[in-house]
Amino acid sequence: MNQDFHKIGNKPGRRQFLQSAALIASGPVVSLPVLGTGENPFLAQEKSKEKRPTVYSANKGNGFGKTKEEMRKNLKRYQAIGYDGMESVSPGISDTRALREVSEELEFPIHGVVDMVHWKQRLSSPDEKIRERGRAALEQAIKDSKAIGGSSVLLVPGAVRGKDENHDHVWKRSIVEIRKVLPLASRLGIHVLIENVWNGFCEDPKQLRDYIDEIGSPWVGAYFDIGNCRKFGPAEDWVRTLGKRIVKLDVKDWGKEVKGRKTFCRLGEGDVDWAEVRKALVEIGFSGWATREGGDKNHADTKKLIDELL
């Protein structure tokens, strides 16, 4: 991968520095403070700028095709829009080696996968055989993420479905199963990241914080969904509560009323206070992937909004 990819930022280069110096030299003398009596105006300008988290934009895809040619075409389409990378799924990749080779060829990372069976083959199911299948799928997702050059698996750990699958059941059963895959995750260097969703589980940020802490592994963290939590409380409160446990972000907005019902919507048109979210992310020192989830047709608009809002 091109090493410059990880140097994305606002630090000026030598050319920008020389241009600034030239502007100072050519500008009216009276517009500048006398040396020693005031603050450098350029430093003051930098200080006045809002601090923003370092985020790498991505969108959720799939297997991106069955052949290298199809994969290359699809990835180049997203790359041309301006995304820094993509996220894939497991199962669903026809050829992990081919996808990795194309990703490296284009210097366009596939940063992880979404476990696509976690809703049906739940780690919280009262049926032991279903839990076993869910764990096996999670293990395969970890392997798939490693194979394509990713760093994580997004996981929904279960769902509250009644008296035989209540909040306590989801908590205890899923932790048992997740701990079983941690030796593999550790060996391959893949994070298992818990997403906050509308599954009746951990709808308070303190609960999710304590759930992750009880698992007690550096390979388990939060895949924080900015829009999903808005139904239950301000996203910035979740960010501050989860803190360093947040490894990656899902980018959604929620709260726009359509026919009398609040729903997910175009970024910036819902209830998420993006300025406060940015502030909170800076406070916890977040740096990482921010992946758009949704059925957007205008990806250029989505990329632009991710840059503006985050």
**Residue-level pLDDT at 33:** 38
Whole-number percent of the chain with pLDDT over 90: 81
Nearest to 159 by CA among 108, 133, 198, 109: 198
CB distance 117 to 94 below 8 Å = no
What pLDDT shows up at residue 186?
Answer: 98
Residue 85 to residue 79: CA distance in whole angstroms: 7
Residues shown for the chain: 310
Task: Give the pLDDT band of residue 44 (cuts 50, 70, 90).
Answer: low
pLDDT score, position 17: 38
Specify the pLDDT at position 296: 77
Q: How far apart are CA 14 and CA 174, in angstroms?
A: 52
pLDDT tens figures, 134-161: 999 999 999 999 999 999 999 999 999 9
pLDDT at 168 over 50: yes
Q: What is the pLDDT of residue 266?
A: 94
Question: How much is the mean pLDDT over the chain?
Answer: 89
Q: Are 68 and 302 in contact, with CB atoms under 8 Å apart?
A: no
pLDDT at res. 261: 92
| Domains in the chain, CATH or no CATH each | 12-45 (no CATH), 53-309 (3.20.20.150)
Residue 22 has pLDDT above 70, yes or no: no
- Assess whether pLDDT exceeds 60 at residue 25: no
Which pair of structure tokens corresponds to residue 67?
Answer: 């052949």
Question: How many angstroms separate the CA atoms of 267 and 301, rounded?
Answer: 9
pLDDT value at position 270?
Answer: 95
Torsions phi, psi of 218, nearest 5?
A: -65, -10
Q: Specify the DSSP class assigned to residue 5.
A: G
DSSP structure string for 127-176: -HHHHHHHHHHHHHHHHHHHHTT--EEEE------BTTB-HHHHHHHHHH
